[in-house]
Structure 1
Amino acid sequence: MCSTRVFARCARYTVLAAVVANAALATLARAAESAPATVAQRPPIADFFENPEFSGALLSPTGKYLAVRIGSKDQRDRLAVVTLADTSVKVVATFGDADIGSFQWVNDERLVFTATDRTVGQGDARYGPGLYAINRDASKFIQLASRSGKSLFTGGSMIRNRDMLPANTYLLGQKAAQDSEFVYVVRPEMSGASQVHETGLLRLNTLTGRATPVTGAPDDSKRWLLDDKGEPRIVTTSKKGISTIQYRDPATSTWRELATYNTYTGGKDGFSPRAFGPDGTLYVVTHAGKDTTSLHKYDLATNQVAPQPLVQIDGYDFSGGLVTANGKLLGVRYLADASGTTWFDAGMQAMQEKIDAMLPNTVNLLSVPTRSETPWVLVIAYADQFPSRTLLYNSETGSLTTVGGSHPKIKPEQMARQTLVHYKARDGLTIPAWLTLPKGGGKNLPLVVLVHGGPHVRGNTWGWNADSQFLASRGYAVLEPEYRGSTGFGVSHFRAGWKQWGLKMQDDIADGARWVIAQGTADPKRICIAGASYGGYSTLMGLINDKDLYQCGINWVGVTDINMMYDGHWNFASDLSETWKQYGMPQLVGDQVKDADQFKATSPLLRAAEIKQPLLLAYGGADRRVPLPHGTKFYKAVRQTNPNVEWVEYEEEGHGWALPKNRIDFWGRVEKFLDKHIGQAGAAAAVTGTGNAPGAAQ
C-alpha cells in the first residue's frame, strides 16, 4: 500500500525509459507488461552490482556551479565542476592512487573533499579518508588531513609535505553557512579498540590548514549540530548509557542542559535535535505522547516542545530535515513509504507540481542552493523500476536537463514492481513488508524472504533496490518484512521486538511467507530465506524453527551465536562498543546471565545439527562487526550433519561486499544456488524425481 502523497505515481504500472542525448531531457514511455524474462533476456549481474557510474552532485551556494563526482569502470572517480552559465566542465581533482570520496562546497569558489579507494576491500583499507581543499578552477589545492601520512599525487604534482591534521579527522557532514573559507571537522578520541570516548570539534581554515578546537564544550561529547549560520549550537553527550542534549547560548556562549534520556531505550523527555531554522528556531523530533515521532518546534526560552507538530506522517516515525534558502524555511523533507517534501513556500510548491507533471512516474526531490542567484534547482528522480537520476531544472525556461544516473545500464522495462503490503502476525501485530514481484507478476512463484539486518533499523523504502530487483529479474518473488523491532513504524512496533531474537521476530518473518502463500503468489514448496548480519542469523533460525516452510537458506556475514557478540574471540576483535554491550544489548537483545537459557535456545551455533536444508554461507575475512569465527565455527558444526552446505570467504571484505567483483561473484553464487533448489532447475528435478529433499545427501 502506498502513502497518500505518492500513491498516484507508485500505483501506475508505468516506467521511465530514459533517453539521454547530449544531456537532453529524459522522456517517459509506458512499458507494456510482459512475461518474466527468459534466461537470454536477463540483465547481466554486473548491471546491478557494479559501482554507480554517477554518484553525486551539489549546487554551489549561489547556484552558479555544479560539483559532480564522475566515475567509470576503468578510471578513478574524479571531481569536476560545471559552470552552468556556459555548461563548461573542468575536472578539478583526481588522484593516482585513490577515488574522490565525499565532497562539500565551502563557499562559491572552494570545495573540500576526501579520498577513498574503491579497488580494495575493507580488510585492505589501511588509511583514513584524508581531507583536501581546492578552488573550482583547480587552484589553491591543499591537503588538510593525513591519509596514512604519505603524500598523494594529483595532476602529476606531488603535494608538499607539511604539518596537517591526523588521519582520524572527518568532515562534520553539515552544510553550514558556506560564506567563508572555514568548515567544521570532527576528531573522535578513542579509548580502546573501536571505542569512541569523545568527539572533538574543530574550526578549520581550508586555505591555510589551521584548525582551532571548539573549547568549553561538555565532556563526553558525541554528536554536534550547527545552526543555520554555521556555528556549533548543540552537542549531545553520552556516558554510561545516558545521553544529554546541551545547548550553547549565543548571547553568553555558555552551555546548558535541555534533556537527558537513556541512549538506547529513550524516555518520555527525550528528543532528537534535527536542525536550526534561519530565524534561530530549533526543530526537534519527538513522540510528544504519540506512538510515532513527529517534527516540532522547540522553545529554547522555556525548554518546552511545541505541542502541535510541524510535520507528522501517519503510520511512520518522522525522518528527514529542513529545506532552507536565502534565509527562509521553504519546506521539510520526510520519509514515508518513499521520500517526499512538505512545502511551506508557495513558489516551491508550484515548482514541485510542475516538475511532477513533467516526471509523473517518479518521486522527485528538489534541492535549492543556500543563497540562490540563478534559476537552477537540482532534482533527484527515482522509482521502484528506475534507479536514481539527477537532473537540473531551470525555473526561468521550465526545462529539465539530465546530469547523470546511478545505473544507466538498467532498463526500467525489465524491472519489477515493488509494493508496501501489511499482514497480521500470529499474535495480531500488523507487520509492514515490501513485496517485489517479477515482471508480469504471476502465481505460485518461487519466493525469497529477504530479512534486513540491524535489526533495530528500518529495512527498506520504496524505490529501486539492487538485491530485490536482481532476484525478481531471475523470476523470484521477494518479501522483505519490517518485523517487530524494526524502527520507523512507531515505538510500539520497535519495543515489541526487544529480546525477541529467534522468537516473535522470527515468527513475524515466517508469518509473512505464509501470508504470501495464502495470497496464491508463492509456491509453498519453493521458499528460501536469506539475509545478512541479523538477517543471516534470522535465516539460520528460520531453518531451525520452520523446517516445513523453508526449502533452503542463504546467510552472509550473519551472527551465529548471541553470546559470541558479547564475548568475542581471542583472535578477532569486534567493533561493537563496550557501552552497547553493557547498556544496550541487555535491554534490546538480552542479558547474558538473566537470559542465558533463552540464548541457548536461540543459538544457531548450538542448534546447527537441526538444519538439514541446503545452505549457502558467505563471510568477510576482515569483518569486525560479525567476526569470521561466527561463520567458521558454525560451518564446522553444521557440516557434521548436513553435507549440502556451500561456503565462501572473501578474505579482504568486512561486513558486506565493498568490491564489485565480490558482489558479482556472490550474487552469481546466489543465482545458481536458488535455481538449483527452488528455481527452474529445482522444479525440473522435482518433476523428474531426481531432486533432493531438504538436507538429503547428493
Structure 2
Amino acid sequence: SGPQDLGTWYLVKDGKVAPVITANSEIPKEALSPAKVLEYKARDGMDLVGYVSIPRDAEGPLPAIAMPHGGPWVRDTLVDPARWDQMLANQGYVVFRPNYRGSLGLGKDYWMAGDNKWGYEMQDDVEDGMQALVDQGIADPDKLAIFGWSYGGYSAMAASTRENPMFNCMVAGAGVSDISRLRGGGFAGNRFLREFQKPTISGKSAINHMENVTKPMLIVHGDYDAIVPVDQSRRFVDRLEAMNADFQYIEIEDMGHSPFELHQNMQWYPALFEFFDTKCGF
C-alpha cells in the first residue's frame, strides 16, 4: 500500500496467493494525491521528519493544514490510516503530518525528547515543519490551519493559546484542554502507560491560557469518549463562550473516542469544510 494505493488483502493457502479485496477499489489511483517525506530541523536544531500530501496538478503556494497525529506515542507514515490527508488534499489543501518529538519508530532519543514537552517543544515541531513548507513555496503563509484528533486535538487547542499564532484557525477533535485532568482509559488498562509513560506527561494546558485565544475554532467530541472524556472539550467551550470567542462546537451523541461510522462523520464533515472556507480564508 501507499499514498495512492489503499491496500490489497491476499489469501495464502496451499502455497498459492490470491487477492481477496482491494480497499476502495472504486477510487482510481490517479484521483489520489501523492505524499512525500519532509526532513526538517526544529528551531532548537533537532532533526525531524514528516509527510506532506500535495493536491494533484496544483502549484504552490497553497492553503495548508498541519495535522499532528494522536497518541502521542505512535508515528505517522506515508499512508494516513484515517485517510483524512486524501480527503483534504482533494479539496485543494496541502496536508502536513509531522512526526513531532515523542513519536515512536524513529529511535529512543526521538521518542524520549517529547517527555514533559507538551505544548512547548512538541508544539514548536509542528510549526517548524509548516514554516519549512512556507520557505519551500509549498504552503501559503497567509492560509495556514491546524487540525488534529486526540493528542492532535490537544495540539490544536495549544496552538490557539500561543502568542502570535501561526495558524488562521484551529480544529480540535477529542482534544485535551487540561493535562492535569487527563485520566484516559488507556492508562487504566495498560501498565506500561500508567507506570512509565504517564509521568512524562506535562506541559501547557490550553485551558490555563485562554486569554491568548484570538482565532476561530471548531471543536468536535463524542459524548461517550472513554479515552479523553468529553468534559475536556465542554470546559474549554464554556470558557470560549464566556469570552465571546469565535467558535463552533459539535458534540456527537453515542460516539466514543473516534468517528468510525459514516453517520458520525456526516455530523461534522460538512461543518469542517465550511469552517475552512469561511473562517480560515481558504
TM superposition score normalised by structure 2: 0.91
Q: Would the aligned equivalents of 2:4 and 2:32 in 1 still touch at CA under 8 Å?
A: yes
Where does residue 460 of structure 1 map in the other structure?
77
Where does residue 677 of structure 1 map in the other structure?
279
Deviations along 1:283-337, one digit per CA (max 9) or x if unpaired, are xxxxxxxxxxxxxxxxxxxxxxxxxxxxxxxxxxxxxxxxxxxxxxxxxxxxxxx
Q: Structure 1 unaligned runs (5+)?
A: 1-381, 567-572, 591-598, 684-698
Q: CA deviation at 1:422?
A: 0.5
Residue of 95, 108, 133 corresponding to 1:516:
133
1:384 aligns with 2:3: yes
Residue of 584, 602, 616 corresponding to 2:197:
584
Q: CA deviation at 1:419?
A: 0.8
1:408 aligns with 2:35: no
Residues 395 and 420 from structure 1, CA distance in 2 versus in 1: closer, same or farther, beyond 3 angstroms?
A: farther
CA RMSD of aligned residues (A): 2.4
Q: Would the aligned equivalents of 1:386 and 1:463 in 2 still touch at CA under 8 Å?
A: no
Q: Structure 2 unaligned runs (5+)?
A: none
1:545 aligns with 2:157: no
Distance 1:552 1:522 in 2: 15
Instruction: Say which SS state the counterpart of residue 625 (structure 1) adopts.
Output: coil
Which residue identity is paired with 2:49?
P
Residue of 606, 612, 621 corresponding to 2:214:
612
Q: CA deviation at 1:403?
A: 2.6
Q: Would the aligned equivalents of 1:421 and 1:434 in 2 still touch at CA under 8 Å?
A: yes
Distance 2:51 2:89 in 1: 13
Q: Would the aligned equivalents of 2:94 and 2:139 in 1 still touch at CA under 8 Å?
A: yes
Q: CA deviation at 1:644?
A: 1.5
1:483 aligns with 2:85: no
Where does residue 236 of structure 2 map in the other structure?
634
Q: In the comparison of the two structures, how many residue pairs are matched?
A: 280
Instruction: Say which SS state the counterpart of residue 111 (structure 2) adopts.
Output: helix
Which residue identity is paired with 2:235?
K
Q: Would the aligned equivalents of 2:154 and 2:176 in 1 still touch at CA under 8 Å?
A: yes
Q: Which has the higher contact order (CA 8 A, sep 6+)?
A: 2
Where does residue 85 of structure 1 map in the other structure?
none
Q: CA deviation at 1:642?
A: 4.2
Where does residue 442 of structure 1 map in the other structure?
59
Q: CA deviation at 1:581?
A: 4.6
Distance 1:634 1:548 in 2: 18
Which residue identity is paired with 1:415?
L
Deviations along 1:60-106, one digit per CA (max 9) or x if unpaired, are xxxxxxxxxxxxxxxxxxxxxxxxxxxxxxxxxxxxxxxxxxxxxxx
Residues 481 and 575 from structure 1, CA distance in 2 versus in 1: closer, same or farther, beyond 3 angstroms?
A: closer
Q: CA deviation at 1:530?
A: 1.0
Q: CA deviation at 1:670?
A: 1.3
**Mapping of 1:585-604 within 5 angstroms?**
585-586=198-199, 588-590=200-202, 599=203, 602-604=204-206
Distance 1:508 1:463 in 2: 19
Instruction: Say which SS state the counterpart of residue 413 (structure 1) adopts.
Output: helix
Distance 1:396 1:549 in 2: 55
Q: CA deviation at 1:664?
A: 3.1
Residues 401 and 670 from structure 1, CA distance in 2 versus in 1: closer, same or farther, beyond 3 angstroms?
A: same
Which residue identity is paired with 1:654?
G
Residues 434 and 484 from structure 1, CA distance in 2 versus in 1: closer, same or farther, beyond 3 angstroms?
A: same
Where does residue 559 of structure 1 map in the other structure?
176
Q: Would the aligned equivalents of 1:458 and 1:482 in 2 still touch at CA under 8 Å?
A: yes
Distance 2:214 2:37 in 1: 33
Instruction: Say which SS state the counterpart of residue 502 (structure 1) adopts.
Output: coil
Q: Would the aligned equivalents of 2:35 and 2:78 in 1 still touch at CA under 8 Å?
A: no
Q: CA deviation at 1:543?
A: 2.1
Residues 642 and 486 from structure 1, CA distance in 2 versus in 1: closer, same or farther, beyond 3 angstroms?
A: farther
Identify, as 1 or 2, the structure richer in helix: 2
Residues 494 and 449 from structure 1, CA distance in 2 versus in 1: closer, same or farther, beyond 3 angstroms?
A: same
Q: Would the aligned equivalents of 2:157 and 2:170 in 1 still touch at CA under 8 Å?
A: yes
Q: CA deviation at 1:464?
A: 7.1
Q: Would the aligned equivalents of 1:616 and 1:646 in 2 still touch at CA under 8 Å?
A: yes
Q: CA deviation at 1:583?
A: 4.4
1:665 aligns with 2:267: yes
Distance 1:465 1:519 in 2: 27
Instruction: Say which SS state the counterpart of residue 432 (structure 1) adopts.
Output: strand
Q: CA deviation at 1:608?
A: 2.0
Which residue identity is paired with 2:60?
K
Distance 1:396 1:505 in 2: 48
Residue of 240, 244, 250 corresponding to 1:648:
250
Hey, which bits of structure 1, 4+ residues long, moved more than 4 A? Answer: 391-397, 578-583
Choose 1 or 2 for highest CA Rg.
Answer: 1
Q: CA deviation at 1:391?
A: 4.7
Residue of 140, 151, 165 corresponding to 1:534:
151
Distance 2:137 2:152 in 1: 25
Q: CA deviation at 1:631?
A: 0.7
Q: CA deviation at 1:665?
A: 2.9
Which residue identity is paired with 1:412?
K
Residues 614 and 463 from structure 1, CA distance in 2 versus in 1: closer, same or farther, beyond 3 angstroms?
A: closer
Where does residue 117 of structure 2 map in the other structure?
500
Q: Would the aligned equivalents of 2:36 and 2:78 in 1 still touch at CA under 8 Å?
A: no
